[in-house]
């Protein structure tokens, strides 16, 4: 900028309100042309409604003209984007309003710090500068007072300090004394005169000619046009020197350049502000939090209860083996030439896809005897596949092997009930001899107890022996009573069942086998349980959604209530994204606090359920997932209100009440 370039230059500036949506068009400024040089002290005087404030908003880049051009330090303002305008407001202008426009919830010093906050000045520098400014303006004792605790004159001095925070190269004061008593009014005027003498460019807007007379140049405006201008007055040498000490406005750093203070500092500042806002209306904040807490906690509890009952069902089923099916032959009518299943049928089943083992089971009843004790029990002729086929391990001893099967060995493995009946005296059964229908067998093992888990003690009333032995020595039949099939993949239980039926139909010439498909019924009930859990989770998720809507509702209210605050922040240099971030932070802080409390609450309730004997299984995935959903809900539902806030028009926001 050369010395000849005016600091502010207006040409044919017009501003029209309305003219669309049915509102009558009114032209408030009707071609204002004006040059203001750096260091001038100008008063713009005119009666109420003449367009002074409108002009000031245009000068301060809070609003854009309908037509005409405006250059600041030689730059056409029309070419600047929203962020660059924010930068210009922050770096070049300091506003002083009739109504002070301080943020009610922040202390005097914090109010003064705001422009530096958006300029990215580090906190210690910010604080010391704000303190120094307030002390200079005689408010050293009021640093931590809220605006409501200060007199009008004091508030106006705070707002002057704020205007000076980033330098205040151009002070725009709109009726700064309008709301003050004569004493405070004189003080404020004295301050403005001193600032002008110190080299600041001061533009004072007033309807009061006496006040205007304190300026070095007086411009009179009426009905949106300049009707008189005293012209640039000679300035003292000291003032001139002070003015030229300013660095060029559009210097090497370029406009729109921001100082980078690091994310951590920004975040801390945003969190501090959000935290404070939450405390302005603790009751409302509490209700919002409650919505999120209930949502998060119910997701956790519902999923825990769901997977708890799912687990119980699975556990019960697993006792019999989740991957089992049982095959038996059933005569359809008495005329059918159907026979029992044969060992060849078992071989065929064993070869089918997805079949892990197919084991024949030859069932019969015998009188078992040891010494003078009799006990009627079931005998099962089985193969060495027994343990896999029926998921039934040994408690003691060993199982018979292939050699025993081949030699029709008289060895037996007894169930728990048989052991209790025959070995009451506490003798170790392994190695002892018992009689099965008068045939002596050597006990080589004891089966693990199954009844306690299965809920059916008869499971344990059983003796198992090699299939060949049962067939030849006990029952005299080669045919299995039924066949136990263990499958590999539970998901294909139904296909395997059909494959068995089809294969048997081909081999036997008719469809006469029945499959009791435990695997399929387990798969189906597991599916049902899973669906139930999902449903419960879904219902809980809906309550989380409702919590999110609560956040949005409160955010919309806050934005509305704080519209003027947003306007003040914009006038002091906040960019749209600063406003967006501020409100998003508030939404996220609420959701995070609610989410954490909800996690704690949900875990406590789930633990209480367990103590009360209701199955509940907490999963980390559900807990973290619920928390994540809460935060995501806050982000999603906070975004719309925050964006509304960021898009507000600075002048409209400032003038709202
Ligand atoms: P002053 O500050 O000189 O009293 P203003 O610049 O505030 O005057 O207003 C000038 C005229 O513009 C007034 O008649 C006012 O009603 C009108 N005006 C100001 N702002 C708006 C607006 N946003 N929409 C419509 N008319 C407006
Ligand atoms: Mg006005």
Same domain, 560 and 450: no
Name residues contacting ligand 1 (CB within 6 A). Answer: 17-18, 26, 28, 46, 48-54
Does 322 have pLDDT greater than 80? no
Beta strands, E only, 523-646 = none
**Is 410 a domain residue?**
yes
Does residue 613 lie in a domain region? Answer: yes
Strand partners, 172: 95, 203
Q: Find out whether 650 and 571 touch, Cβ atoms under 8 Å.
A: yes
Q: 351 in helix, strand or coil?
A: helix
In a domain, 147, yes or no: no
The confidence score (pLDDT) of residue 194 equals 93
Q: How many residues does the chain have?
A: 657
Which of 32, 48, 54 is the pocket-test mutation for ligand 1 (most atoms within 8 Å of CB)?
54
Q: Which ligand is nearest to the CA of 50?
A: 1
First to last CA, the chain: 40
Q: List the Cα angle 198/59/199 in 5-degree steps.
A: 10
Mean pLDDT over 176-191 rounds to: 91
Report the atom number in ligand 1 closest to the C-alpha of 48: 4
**Structure token pair of residue 178:** 């309008």
Task: Name the pairing type of β-strands 170-174 and 201-206.
Answer: parallel
Domain count, the chain: 2
- pTM (2 decimals)? 0.70
Q: What is the pLDDT of residues 373-409, one digit of tens each?
A: 999 999 999 999 998 888 888 999 999 999 999 999 9
Both 363 and 459 in one domain: the answer is yes
Owning domain of residue 628: 277-314+524-654
- Pick the residue whose CA is nearest to atom 15 on ligand 1: 49
Two tokens, residue 455: 């809920």
Domain boundary among the residues 454, 488, 511 is at 511
My answer on whether 309 and 355 are in the same domain is: no
Burial class for 231, CB neighbours closer than 10 Å (0-12, 13-18, 19+): exposed
Same domain, yes or no: 452 and 536: no
Å from CA of 17 to ligand 1 middle: 8
363: helix, coil or strand?
Answer: strand
Q: What's the gap in Å between 171 CA and the centre of ligand 1?
A: 21
Q: Which of 455, 490, 511 is the last residue of a domain?
A: 511
**Based on the number of CB atoms within 10 Å of its own CB, is 340 exposed (0-12), middle (13-18) or buried (19 or more)?**
middle
Instruction: Give yes or no: residues 340 and 297 share one domain.
Output: no
Residues 6+ apart with CB under 8 A from 595: 292, 296, 626, 627, 630, 631
Mutate-to-test residue for ligand 1 from 17, 46, 55, highest number of ligand atoms within 8 A of CB? 17
Dihedral (CA of 102, 108, 113, 117) sign: negative
The most confident of the ranges 110-114, 290-294, 549-553, 641-645 is: 110-114
> Are residues 507 and 362 part of one domain?
yes
In this prediction, residue 21 carries a pLDDT of: 77
Inside any domain, residue 597:
yes
Residue 88: which H helix or E strand, with range? helix 82-91
Q: Residue 137 pLDDT more than 70?
A: yes
Q: Which contiguous run of DSSP H or E holds residue 103?
A: none
Mark whether 476 and 507 lie in a shared domain: yes
From 483, 511, 539, the end of a domain falls on: 511
- Ligand 2 centroid to residue 486 C-alpha, Å: 89
Instruction: Give the per-residue pLDDT at 255.
Output: 46
Tell me which residue of 167, 112, 193, 165 sits closest to 176, measured CA to CA. 193
- The pLDDT of 507-524, averaged and rounded, is 81
If asked whether residues 482 and 536 sit together in one domain, one would say: no
DSSP state, residue 474: I
**Neighbouring residues of 183: CB distance < 8 A, sequence distance ≥ 6:** 153
| For the chain, percent of residues with pLDDT exceeding 90 | 52
Query: Taking each helix axis from N to C terminus, what angle separates 576-611 and 620-646, rounded to the nearest 10 degrees?
Result: 150
In a domain, 363, yes or no: yes
**Do residues 375 and 492 share a domain?**
yes
User: Does any domain span residue 240?
Assistant: no
Query: Is residue 395 one of the residues assigned to a domain?
Result: yes
Q: How far apart, in whole angstroms, are the C-alpha atoms of residue 52 and residue 56? A: 6
Inside any domain, residue 306: yes
In terms of domains, do 382 and 463 share one? Answer: yes
Place of tokens 């460019």: 201
> How much is the pLDDT for 3?
55
- Judgement on whether residues 412 and 453 belong to the same structural domain of the protein: yes
CA 25 to ligand 2 centroid distance, Å: 19
Residues 528 and 506 in one domain: no
Distance of CA 38 to the CA centre of its chain: 51
């Amino acid at each position: 900028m050369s010395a000849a370039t005016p600091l502010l230059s207006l040409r044919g500036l017009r501003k029209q309100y309305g003219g669309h949506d049915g509102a009558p068009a009114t032209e408030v400024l009707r071609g204002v042309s004006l040059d203001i040089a750096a260091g001038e002290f100008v008063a713009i005087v005119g009666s109420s409604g003449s367009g002074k404030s409108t002009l000031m908003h245009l000068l301060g880049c809070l609003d854009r003209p309908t037509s005409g051009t405006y250059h600041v330090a030689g730059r056409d303002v029309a070419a600047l984007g929203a962020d660059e305008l924010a930068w210009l407001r922050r770096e070049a202008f300091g506003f002083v309003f009739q109504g002070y426009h301080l943020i009610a919830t922040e202390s005097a010093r914090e109010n003064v710090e705001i422009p530096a906050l958006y300029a990215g000045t580090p906190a210690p520098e910010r604080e010391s500068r704000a303190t120094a400014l307030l002390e200079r303006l005689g408010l050293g004792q009021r640093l931590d007072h809220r605006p409501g605790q200060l007199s009008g004159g004091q508030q106006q001095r705070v707002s002057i300090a704020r205007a000076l925070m980033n330098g205040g190269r151009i002070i725009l004061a709109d009726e700064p004394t309008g709301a003050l008593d004569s004493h405070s009014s004189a003080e404020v005027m004295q301050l403005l005169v001193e600032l002008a003498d110190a080299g600041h460019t001061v533009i004072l807007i007033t309807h009061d000619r006496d006040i205007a007379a304190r300026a070095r140049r007086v411009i009179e405006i009426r009905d949106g046009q300049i009707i008189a201008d005293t012209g640039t007055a000679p300035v003292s040498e000291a003032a001139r020197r002070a003015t030229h000490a300013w660095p060029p406005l559009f210097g090497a750093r370029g406009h729109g350049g921001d100082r980078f203070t690091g994310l951590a500092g920004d975040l801390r500042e945003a969190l501090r502000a959000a935290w404070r806002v939450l405390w302005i209306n603790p009751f409302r904040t509490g209700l919002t939090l409650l919505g999120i807490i209930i949502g998060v906690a119910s997701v956790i509890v519902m999923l825990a209860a769901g997977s708890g009952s799912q687990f119980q069902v699975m556990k019960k089923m697993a006792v019999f083996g989740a991957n089992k099916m049982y095959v038996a032959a059933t005569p359809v009518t008495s005329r059918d030439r159907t026979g029992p299943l044969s060992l060849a049928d078992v071989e065929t089943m064993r070869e089918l896809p997805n079949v892990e083992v197919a084991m024949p089971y030859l069932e019969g009843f015998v009188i078992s005897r040891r010494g003078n004790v009799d006990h009627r029990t079931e005998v099962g002729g089985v193969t060495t596949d027994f343990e896999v086929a029926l998921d039934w391990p040994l408690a003691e001893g060993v199982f018979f092997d292939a050699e025993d099967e081949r030699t029709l060995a008289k060895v037996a493995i007894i169930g728990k009930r048989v052991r209790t009946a025959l070995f009451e005296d506490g003798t170790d059964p392994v190695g002892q001899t018992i009689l099965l229908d008068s045939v002596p067998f050597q006990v080589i093992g004891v089966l693990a107890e199954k009844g306690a888990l299965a809920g059916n003690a008869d499971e344990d009333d059983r003796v198992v022996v090699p299939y060949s032995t049962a067939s030849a020595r006990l029952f005299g039949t080669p045919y299995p009573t039924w066949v136990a099939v263990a499958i590999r993949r539970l998901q294909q239980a139904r296909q395997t069942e059909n494959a068995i039926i089809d294969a048997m139909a081909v081999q036997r010439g008719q469809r006469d086998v029945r499959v009791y498909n435990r695997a399929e019924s387990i798969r189906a009930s597991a599916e049902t349980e899973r669906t139930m859990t999902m449903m419960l989770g879904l219902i809980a998720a809906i309550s989380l959604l409702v919590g999110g809507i609560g956040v949005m509702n409160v955010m919309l209210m806050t934005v509305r209530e704080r519209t003027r605050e947003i306007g003040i922040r914009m006038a002091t240099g906040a960019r749209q994204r600063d406003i967006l971030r501020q409100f998003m932070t508030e939404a996220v802080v609420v959701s995070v606090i609610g989410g954490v409390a909800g996690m704690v609450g949900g875990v406590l309730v789930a633990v209480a359920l367990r103590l009360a004997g209701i199955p509940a299984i907490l999963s980390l995935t559900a807990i973290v997932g619920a928390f994540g959903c809460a935060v995501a809900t806050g982000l999603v539902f906070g975004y719309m209100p925050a964006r509304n806030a960021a898009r507000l028009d600075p002048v409209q926001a400032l003038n709202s009440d």
